[in-house]
Chain A
């Protein structure tokens, strides 16, 4: 189909899997960090803010390198994870999930944070007068009202994860069937003479996936917004 080879399909499937898992796994952390940044005042807040946004401004290769020297098989954190939990990230697709998640995280946090900051806090106060403690206020009022931001944040993170190249190839290399995503596969194809035609097929698939994700999130966001405006 579409003139794709089985190897190409493997890369497409792997990209979708890595981007989806990275988005879903980082979501709870994204919501928690966005909430803390939007609502809490504490010492070191600007530092946390800066660290979260760092992958956005650092060259992706630098982020990948930093992941390699912390989470690599012989690196301190990586060795600890491998020895105690049997978790190995380097040169595995799970490592690509980590690098994509890290690269996408600032975009996700930013979208959710803006949404939380836009919430009318008087609604939360009304919930409290009706007997809702802070936990239930968050679950029944804050979280549903943040939904448009959560959808936008997931969409941005997914797109960013799908397009991730530099950090991923630096951290987990470019192994077909394990860490070779669409981007890495396109890069590999363009490195061989006459590979650009084969690369074009993958490019078309990448464009199609991005369009589909964009439309899906637009549709979801519109539905969520309509519900939130009480209609």
Chain B
């Protein structure tokens, strides 16, 4: 029944906005839609930062949320890495400690190989000794991706990771995201309203509009650019 990595069916009323979304995901699934279509709320529900009114969320057959059975796994126990739009690096910690944070908090042993691999994948070696306040927007997002990867997540959520960057910085990050997809072996949910970006990164696309799924499939469901 659940061959897909993530199975998600959620309902939530937020003021006048109603969200009713069901989808399955594996590989790199893009949640594509205009702002206000419910993408970020959906990401927060998968990550556990927002509780749906009803529905069910399961990851690798492991139920994270089930309203009918009263299951709601706390966000810190979900092992879902999240890369936020604004990076959200911890300003009081060095880059090194930001990268180590998820491992510490998740109680994982030190893994020099994984660390070296992530540093190489994202090309952040020369940033490790710095402090977050001294990084450019693009560098900050790469550290945020590294931080999420190093907690060894079961799923990686990327919530418009490029939205706060200008075109040049986007072009700088996109190749890293492609490497991440081809190399890291972590299933990803990629949220974006940019069809060009989605076409480059995603293998599956779920199109959202006003809190509903309007189409799902391959990159062919994207509007023509």
Residue of A nearest to B86 (CB): A122
The answer, among B106, B132, B148, for a CB contact under 8 Å with A230, is B132
Give the interface residue-count category, chain B: 20 to 34
* B131 close to A136 (CB less than 8 A): no
Q: Is B101 in the interface zone, CB < 8 Å from A?
A: yes
- The proximity string for B residues 111-147 relative to A, scoring 1 for CB distances below 8 Å and 0 otherwise, is 0000000000000000000011110000000000001
Residue of B nearest to A123 (CB): B88
Max chain A CB contacts within 10 Å: which of B81, B84, B86, B91? Answer: B91
Asked if A131 meets B79 with Cβ closer than 8 Å, knowing A125-B49, A230-B133, A231-B134, the reply is yes
Residue of A nearest to B49 (CB): A125
* B91 close to A230 (CB less than 8 A): yes
Inter-chain CA distance A230–B76, complex, in Å, is 25
Q: Is B176 in the interface zone, CB < 8 Å from A?
A: no
Inter-chain CA distance A130–B75, complex, in Å, is 8
Inter-chain CA distance A77–B84, complex, in Å, is 53
Inter-chain CA distance A133–B90, complex, in Å, is 16
* B92 close to A227 (CB less than 8 A): yes
* B133 close to A229 (CB less than 8 A): yes
Q: How many A-B residue pairs have CB under 8 A?
A: 80
Q: Is A126 in the interface zone, CB < 8 Å from B?
A: yes
Inter-chain CA distance A25–B106, complex, in Å, is 33
* Chain A residues within 8 Å of B106, by CB: 130-131
Q: Is A191 in the interface zone, CB < 8 Å from B?
A: no
Q: Is A128 in the interface zone, CB < 8 Å from B?
A: yes
* Chain A residues within 8 Å of B148, by CB: 129-130
* B133 close to A132 (CB less than 8 A): no
Asked if A129 meets B80 with Cβ closer than 8 Å, knowing A229-B133, A230-B133, A231-B131, the reply is yes
Q: Is B37 in the interface zone, CB < 8 Å from A?
A: no
Instruction: Identify which of residues 49-89 in chain B touch chain A, using a CB-to-CB cut-off of 8 Å.
Output: 49, 74-82, 84, 86, 88-89
Q: Is B38 in the interface zone, CB < 8 Å from A?
A: no
Q: Is A127 in the interface zone, CB < 8 Å from B?
A: yes
Inter-chain CA distance A144–B94, complex, in Å, is 13
* Chain B residues within 8 Å of A122, by CB: 84, 86, 88
- The proximity string for A residues 144-161 relative to B, scoring 1 for CB distances below 8 Å and 0 otherwise, is 110100000000000000
Q: Is A228 in the interface zone, CB < 8 Å from B?
A: yes
Q: Is B205 in the interface zone, CB < 8 Å from A?
A: no
* A132 close to B105 (CB less than 8 A): yes
* Chain B residues within 8 Å of A213, by CB: none
* A129 close to B75 (CB less than 8 A): yes
Q: Is A16 in the interface zone, CB < 8 Å from B?
A: no
* B134 close to A230 (CB less than 8 A): yes
Max chain A CB contacts within 10 Å: which of B88, B132, B151? Answer: B88
List residues of A whose CB falls within 8 A of some B CB.
120, 122-123, 125-133, 136-137, 140-141, 144-145, 147, 227-231
Task: Given contact pairs A130-B148, A141-B90, enumerate 18 new A-B contacts (beta carbons under 8 Å).
Answer: A126-B88, A127-B105, A128-B74, A129-B80, A130-B76, A130-B102, A131-B79, A131-B102, A131-B106, A131-B107, A132-B76, A132-B101, A133-B105, A136-B105, A137-B76, A140-B105, A230-B133, A231-B131
Rank and list the top 6 A-B pairs by shortest CB-CB distance, nearest first.
A230-B133, A131-B106, A131-B105, A130-B102, A230-B132, A230-B91
Interface CB pairs A-B, < 8 A, 21: A122-B84, A123-B90, A126-B84, A126-B90, A127-B105, A128-B74, A128-B75, A129-B49, A130-B101, A130-B106, A130-B147, A131-B76, A131-B106, A133-B74, A137-B76, A141-B92, A145-B92, A147-B92, A229-B133, A230-B89, A230-B134
